[in-house]
């Protein structure tokens, strides 16, 4: 009985031809490949090639930088914030002026309701609404432009001045690791751990001001 089944299989291959046989083999290989991809390994196997070497405590030289203090105390960053605030003040002053003009026009429209024809009144209201929408769009775009210009200047300052200062201090002190002090908890008795003052002092010596690019619309 088994022999007959085998003969039937062979005959079927002869009928379908070599292409069918290849398709069958490819399908089997495909299933095997998928099964291999889905197979998970243990954590031990996953980290088998990771070296056991690590820095020992005696070799570590660690420092912290409080970046919030750098941003607050560094002269160049103070100057950059001052420039941004100046552009923001110009925008607020312009908004106040435009608001007064629009309020005056709104009052005039309300007074002319009994004088103007319905069509004329509708046109004046539509024009007023267009002015309001245009002002909102203009102010929003310019406020965004101020922020974009500030962030670009901030990034340039960090790349050209702050990062080289920090890297120089790391090299001079032969530090192994520098941590942002905002996310670290340190004891008060550890000496020479906080290099924030060194960073601020060195940055102030290197650069005291950075020109912020004029935002669009100013």
Q: Are residues 118 and 142 in the same domain?
A: yes
- Do 98 and 141 belong together in one domain? yes
What is the spatial distance between Cα 144 and Cα 61, in angstroms, rounded to a whole number? 42
For residues 123 and 198, membership in a common domain is answered with yes
42 plus 68 within the same structural domain:
no
Q: Is residue 192 part of a domain?
A: yes
Per-residue pLDDT tens over the stretch 21-74: 544 444 545 554 555 555 677 778 876 887 777 767 677 888 889 999 999 999
Beta-carbon neighbour count of residue 144 at 10 Å? 13
pLDDT tens-place string over residues 136-176: 999 999 999 999 999 999 999 999 999 999 999 999 999 98
- How many domains in the chain? 2
Calpha distance 156→131 (Å, rounded): 37
Largest CA distance in the chain: 108
Same domain, yes or no, for 97 and 27?
A: no
Say if 215 falls within a structural domain: no
Structural domain boundaries, residue 25: 2-46
Residues 6 or more apart in contact with residue 73 via CB below 8 angstroms: 200
38 and 70 in a single domain? The answer is no
**Is there a domain that residue 51 lies in?**
no
> What pTM was computed for the model?
0.68
Say how many C-beta atoms besides its own lie within 10 A of residue 62's C-beta.
14
Residues 96 and 12 in one domain: no
70 close to 77: Cβ distance less than 8 angstroms = yes
**Would you mind telling me the total number of residues written for the chain in this entry?**
218
Which of 3-17, 47-61, 76-90, 163-177 has the highest average model confidence (pLDDT)?
Answer: 76-90
> Are residues 49 and 182 in contact, defined by beta-carbon separation less than 8 angstroms?
no
| 40 and 62 housed in the same domain | no
Query: CA angle, 37 as apex, 36 and 41 as ends, to 5°?
Result: 80
């Amino acid at each position: 009985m088994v022999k007959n089944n085998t003969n039937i299989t062979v005959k079927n291959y002869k009928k379908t031809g070599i292409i069918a046989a290849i398709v069958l083999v490819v399908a089997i290989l495909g299933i095997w490949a998928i099964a291999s991809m889905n197979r998970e390994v243990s954590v031990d196997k996953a980290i088998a090639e990771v070296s056991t070497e690590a820095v020992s405590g005696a070799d570590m030289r660690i420092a912290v930088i409080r970046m919030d203090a750098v941003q607050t105390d560094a002269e160049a960053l103070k100057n950059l914030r001052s420039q941004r605030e100046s552009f923001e003040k110009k925008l607020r002053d312009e908004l106040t002026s435009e608001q007064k003009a629009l309020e005056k026009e709104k009052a005039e429209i309300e007074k002319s309701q009994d004088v103007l024809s319905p069509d004329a009144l509708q046109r004046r209201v539509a024009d007023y609404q267009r002015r309001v929408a245009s002002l909102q769009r203009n102010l929003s775009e310019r406020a965004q432009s101020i922020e974009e210009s500030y962030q670009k200047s901030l990034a340039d300052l960090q790349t050209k001045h702050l990062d080289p200062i920090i890297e120089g201090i790391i090299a001079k002190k032969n530090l192994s690791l520098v941590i942002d002090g905002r996310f670290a908890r340190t004891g008060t008795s550890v000496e020479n751990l906080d290099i924030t003052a060194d960073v601020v002092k060195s940055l102030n010596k290197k650069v005291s001001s950075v020109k912020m690019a004029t935002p669009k619309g100013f």
